[in-house]
Structure 1
Amino acid sequence: MSKTKEARPAVQLIDIVFPGDTNHHGTLFGGVALAHMDKVAFLAASRHGRAPFVTASSQKIDFAAPAQEGDLVEVTGHLVRVGTSSLDVEVELIAEAPVSGERRLCTRGRFTLVARKGPTTKLPLPAMFECAPIEQSSVLRLAEMVFPGQTNHYGTLYGGDALRMMGKAAFIAATRHTREVLVMASSDRIDFVAPIREGDMVELVAEVKMTGRSSVRVAVEIWSEDLLSGVRVHAATAAFTFVAVNEMGTSKTIRARHE
């Protein structure tokens, strides 16, 4: 089992707009978008300060474009100010059409979070440092968090929710790689090597390993990170296979991409 300490202030969450997340217009409900943004702000703050943060306020947030049902939503947070016990995180939400790859900025906002004072809170907060942008590469990294409703009676992430997270990460990676309509064909053996506890940050790392005539194979690792200590633990590994389908739901040849 590998354990390391890292401090990375930028956090990226990528989700899919499902019907339950939309309003009566078929676009992402504003409250869901704000929840994504607040979660990313909290994770970015916690990774920097390693303290128990609460959201104090957010500035005016204007929605410039909608995210449609079926779109991917990419939410990224960066520190822009650090004080003695509070900091600001700027969060950007971009919608992406999964097949065409067309991207549009939906909204951007700034959140202020405050570190709660306590025996484990170390103040002043660490000074802000320059953060490199998230690199665009063949390896997809996305963050999530474990809330009480996702845990079993032992207080650790329920296996079904871990599988859901891993399957979603694999689907996003495969879709971005092929820009095709995909369905999951199979999942290989999944090994859980360490528990993920309530309150942990979850980082999913997905990479396309093979592209066939009509199928894509994606490997996914899931890592847990204690937000106060920064200790990261490799929790599980899995592999998923997806198949490209046409309008009739039958397999089709994956088109060659010209970057």
Structure 2
Amino acid sequence: MPKPKSIKESITIMTEMVMPNDTNTLGNLMGGNLMRMMDIAGAITAQKHCNRIVVTASVDNVSFVNPIPLGNVVTLEGKITRAFTTSMEVVVNVFSENIPAGTKTKTNQAFLTFVAVDQTGRPIEVPEAIIETEEEKELYDSAQRRRELRLVLAGRLKPEEATALKSIFNL
């Protein structure tokens, strides 16, 4: 089993300016381009945590709350929420900043799951995540419910076996 690792050791911050080639016909960052950036930020975060190659296993709901206009700066912040046996859940928060106007807005948040793999593509154990703050504890505790929901929706777990979800659905 790998040595446990602090969550703060793998925090990833990526910054990029929205250029004309990144936008839709309304002059806003295309959703697919943002999802690509979120996947990269999440993968870097997961790789930093486990020091291994990682593959994307799932992306939870991505809601586009606020558009990100041409010329704004996009900042993505990735953080491990919980490490399971071979997988890690990462939260990626996205902010849009209009530097000349001095405004910064949170535009998106998504939870992504990555699996660590060896050179042959087989899953490999990852370090446990060390929880140090109240926010990390809340994300860690809720990660089990999100994981069970993903597994139920994928048909890999029966609803009655989802112990963390039982209180939510009265199962």
**One-letter code of the match for 2:34?**
A
Structure 1 counterpart of 2:164:
none
Aligned length: 126
- Quick check: which one's helix share is greater? 2
Give the structure, 1 or 2, with the largest relative contact order (CA under 8 Å, sep 6 or more).
2
Structure 1 residue 129 displacement after superposition:
1.8
C-alpha distance 38-119 of structure 1, shift in aligned 2 (>3 A): closer
Cα distance between partner residues in 2 of 1:64 and 1:131 = 30
Cα distance between partner residues in 1 of 2:74 and 2:19 = 11
**One-letter code of the match for 1:31?**
G
- Quick check: which one's strand share is greater? 1
Structure 2 counterpart of 1:42:
43
TM-score of the aligned structures, taking structure 1 as reference length:
0.46
Structure 2 counterpart of 1:136:
none
**One-letter code of the match for 1:105?**
K
Structure 1 residue 105 displacement after superposition:
1.1
Cα distance between partner residues in 2 of 1:8 and 1:131 = 12
Cα distance between partner residues in 2 of 1:31 and 1:120 = 26
C-alpha distance 26-77 of structure 1, shift in aligned 2 (>3 A): same
Rg (Cα) greater in structure: 1
Cα distance between partner residues in 2 of 1:41 and 1:101 = 27
C-alpha distance 62-80 of structure 1, shift in aligned 2 (>3 A): same
Structure 1 residue 113 displacement after superposition:
0.5
Contact map agreement 1:16 1:70 (CA 8 A) in 2: yes
Contact map agreement 1:9 1:131 (CA 8 A) in 2: no
Structure 1 residue 125 displacement after superposition:
1.0
CA shift digits 1:166-200 (9 cap, x unpaired):
xxxxxxxxxxxxxxxxxxxxxxxxxxxxxxxxxxx
Structure 1 residue 123 displacement after superposition:
4.3
How large is the Cα RMSD of the aligned pairs?
2.1
**One-letter code of the match for 2:17?**
I
Structure 1 residue 117 displacement after superposition:
3.6
TM-score of the aligned structures, taking structure 2 as reference length:
0.68
Cα distance between partner residues in 2 of 1:116 and 1:50 = 10
- Is 1:105 the counterpart of 2:106? The answer is yes
> Secondary structure, in 3 states, of the residue corresponding to 1:12?
strand
C-alpha distance 58-21 of structure 1, shift in aligned 2 (>3 A): same
CA shift digits 1:13-51 (9 cap, x unpaired):
000000000000000000110011000000000000011
Structure 2 counterpart of 1:57:
58
Structure 1 residue 124 displacement after superposition:
2.6
**1:169-188, aligned counterparts within 5 Å?**
none
CA shift digits 1:35-72 (9 cap, x unpaired):
11000000000000011100011001101101100000
- Is 1:130 the counterpart of 2:159? The answer is no
Percent identity of paired positions between Structure 1 and Structure 2: 26
Question: Which of structure 1's runs of 4+ aligned residues deviate more than 2 A?
Answer: 117-124
Structure 2 counterpart of 1:96:
97
Cα distance between partner residues in 2 of 1:99 and 1:44 = 30
C-alpha distance 121-127 of structure 1, shift in aligned 2 (>3 A): farther
